């Protein structure tokens, strides 16, 4: 009884200490908003519109070089100085531009991708109209990622018009196979490797200026991607004897698959753990949170383990930040309702967390599959990316550039759950940042790979300025 009372008093005292600590830490808002009325916004929107109007949908394992050569003509018309004065390397539709500086010791790579995913039916406006209305550019690719490509091409265009020569080499990189993880970016990396180029910084898409990034946290925050989770497409296969459905058999392929899926969904087998970078993100966001959330995030020394244990159960976004995830996405069986399949399968997409990377996560899920007499086939995959040092020179350089370009915007490290071409650059660069200087609100995020993709174009001048500052400040 005394021990229980002592524990209660300790918890109560610790809770009071956490409350007092929270109340003494100043509240900080991230109050950056794009400048309204910037005359450049409409000019940049018109350029982005023309880029969107050219359909650059990519299809896996298909030679589309001629399609992208046509798109390159659009780029040449929009950014004439970039195409007249920079060295251009074209490899099967993917592009590198070399903006030569006074030194090649700390080169930077600014990158995005030309290709877009297919546009399904159901759009309010034609997906390749590039229509400009209501302060937005509408169409596939307006957000993912022709906007950031427009911004760094325009940044180079304006610097060239000024006659500016950068202190360090700048490379503009844009592949045409990003959406399916194809050979475009690896070919560009191989070209730079052949030339002996070792970038000091690669700045790709991934993070961005996110509006209201988490529950209870309001404002625009620069979420600087310092890594991305690993990923794999996995197929689980159940085999049986088949036969007529009128004489059912126990433990059939579909029954075993169903039991397996239910088991994994109800009892997640992966470890929930807060990476140091994720903790740094939460602590950076904490001063801007509403009070109940702020109390927790300001005192992760006390609340960390409850957060790791409880939040993945109620929030998919939190689960993705804290553990390996598996999402079942496809299923197949027999081709008739009255036929039992000899073989059935389910497909899944897995995203691996750094503390339980590809090999360990696959071993965990494989062990459960074996319990249900299932075979596991890894169709495509790769481990987690390198983690950028959030206390290092490169991260600080990007964060300082955010502060200079977007006054009042709070920066935070961020681990991506999605995949980018930046991973390929890790072969020659230790600092691959995933950050596009675009404001992504809820509607922009919803449109990525969905319908009605559209971008508020008032953020484009800030994006151009960010890339110009990156180039100018890299000494």
Q: Please state, in angstroms and rounded to a whole number, the distance separating the CA atoms of residues 267 and 17.
A: 35
pLDDT for the residue numbered 7? 47
Among 14, 4, 6, residue whose Cα is nearest residue 306: 14
Domain locations in the chain?
Answer: 40-228+386-473, 234-262+329-383, 272-322
Strand, helix or coil for residue 262: helix
Specify whether the CB–CB gap between 70 and 54 falls below 8 A.
yes
Residue with tokens 């690896």, as numbered in its chain = 186
Q: Please state, in angstroms and rounded to a whole number, the distance separating the CA atoms of residues 444 and 324.
A: 26
- What pTM value is reported for the model? 0.91
pLDDT for the residue numbered 4? 47
Q: Please state, in angstroms and rounded to a whole number, the distance separating the CA atoms of residues 105 and 197.
A: 9
Residues 6+ apart with CB under 8 A from 362: 232, 234, 350, 376, 378
| Cα 448-442-280 angle, rounded to 5 deg | 95
Specify whether the CB–CB gap between 290 and 370 falls below 8 A.
no
Residue 340, token pair as written in the block: 């039992």
pLDDT for the residue numbered 20? 55
Largest CA distance in the chain: 82
Question: Could you tell me the fold of the domain covering 40-228+386-473?
Answer: Aminopeptidase (3.40.630)
The CATH class that applies to domain 234-262+329-383 reads: alpha beta
pLDDT for the residue numbered 440? 95
Q: Concatenate the DSSP letters of all residues of 36-92 into one string.
A: TT-THHHHHHHHHHHHHHS--B--TT---HHHHHHHHHHHHHH-HHHHHHSEEEEET
Task: Provide the b/e sequence for 251-262 (b: ≥16 CB within 10 Å).
Answer: ebbbbbbbebbe
pLDDT tens digits in sequence order for the chain, 475 residues long: 555 454 444 455 555 555 555 555 566 788 899 989 899 999 999 999 999 999 999 999 999 999 999 999 999 999 999 999 999 999 999 999 999 999 999 999 999 999 999 999 999 999 999 999 999 999 999 999 999 999 999 999 999 999 999 999 999 999 999 999 999 999 999 999 999 999 999 999 999 999 998 888 899 999 999 999 999 999 999 999 888 888 888 889 999 999 999 999 999 999 999 999 999 998 898 888 887 887 788 878 777 888 877 777 666 777 888 999 999 999 999 999 999 999 999 999 999 999 999 999 999 999 999 999 999 999 988 999 999 999 999 999 999 999 999 999 999 999 998 889 999 999 999 999 999 999 999 999 999 999 999 999 999 999 999 999 999 999 8
Q: Please state, in angstroms and rounded to a whole number, the distance separating the CA atoms of residues 78 and 87.
A: 17
């Amino acid at each position: 009884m005394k021990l229980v009372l002592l524990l209660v008093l300790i918890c109560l005292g610790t809770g009071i200490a956490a409350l007092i600590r929270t109340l003494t830490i100043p509240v900080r808002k991230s109050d950056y908003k794009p400048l309204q009325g910037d005359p450049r916004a409409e000019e940049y929107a018109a350029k982005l519109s023309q880029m969107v109007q050219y359909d650059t949908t990519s299809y896996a394992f298909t030679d589309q070089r001629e399609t992208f050569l046509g798109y390159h003509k659009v780029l040449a018309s929009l950014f004439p100085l970039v195409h007249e004065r920079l060295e251009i390397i074209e490899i099967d539709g993917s592009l590198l531009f070399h903006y030569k500086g006074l030194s090649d010791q700390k080169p930077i790579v600014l990158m995005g991708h030309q290709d877009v995913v297919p546009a399904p039916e159901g759009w309010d406006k034609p997906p390749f109209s590039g229509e400009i209305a209501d302060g937005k550019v509408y169409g596939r690719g307006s957000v993912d990622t022709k906007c950031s490509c427009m911004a760094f091409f325009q940044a180079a265009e304006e610097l060239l018009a000024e006659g500016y020569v950068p202190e360090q080499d700048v490379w503009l990189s844009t592949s045409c196979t990003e959406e399916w993880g194809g050979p475009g970016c690896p070919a560009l990396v191989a070209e730079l490797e052949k030339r002996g180029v070792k970038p000091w910084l690669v700045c790709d898409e991934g993070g961005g200026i996110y509006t209201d990034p988490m529950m209870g946290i309001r404002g625009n925050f620069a979420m600087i991607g310092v890594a991305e989770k690993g990923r794999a497409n996995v197929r689980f296969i159940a085999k049986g004897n088949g036969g007529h459905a009128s004489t059912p058999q126990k433990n059939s392929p579909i029954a075993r698959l169903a039991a397996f899926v239910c088991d994994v969904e109800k009892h997640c087998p992966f470890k929930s753990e807060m990476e140091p970078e994720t903790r740094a993100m939460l602590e950076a966001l904490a001063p801007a949170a509403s009070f109940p959330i702020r109390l927790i995030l300001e005192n992760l020394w006390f609340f960390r383990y409850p957060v790791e244990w409880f939040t993945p159960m109620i929030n998919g976004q939190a689960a993705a930040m804290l553990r390996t995830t598996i999402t079942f996405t496809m299923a197949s069986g027999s081709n008739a309702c009255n036929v039992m399949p000899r073989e059935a399968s389910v497909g899944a997409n897995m995203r691996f967390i750094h503390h339980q990377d590809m090999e360990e996560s696959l071993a965990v899920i494989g062990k459960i599959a074996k319990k249900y007499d299932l075979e596991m086939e890894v169709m495509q995959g790769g481990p987690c990316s390198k983690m950028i040092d959030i206390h290092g020179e490169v991260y600080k350089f990007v964060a300082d550039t955010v502060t200079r370009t977007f006054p009042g915007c709070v920066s935070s490290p961020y681990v991506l759950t999605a995949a980018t071409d930046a991973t390929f650059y890790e072969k020659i660069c230790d600092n691959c940042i995933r950050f596009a200087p675009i404001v992504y609100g809820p509607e922009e995020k919803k449109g990525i790979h969905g319908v009605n993709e559209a971008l508020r174009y008032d953020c484009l001048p800030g994006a151009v300025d960010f890339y110009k500052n990156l180039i100018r400040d890299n000494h």
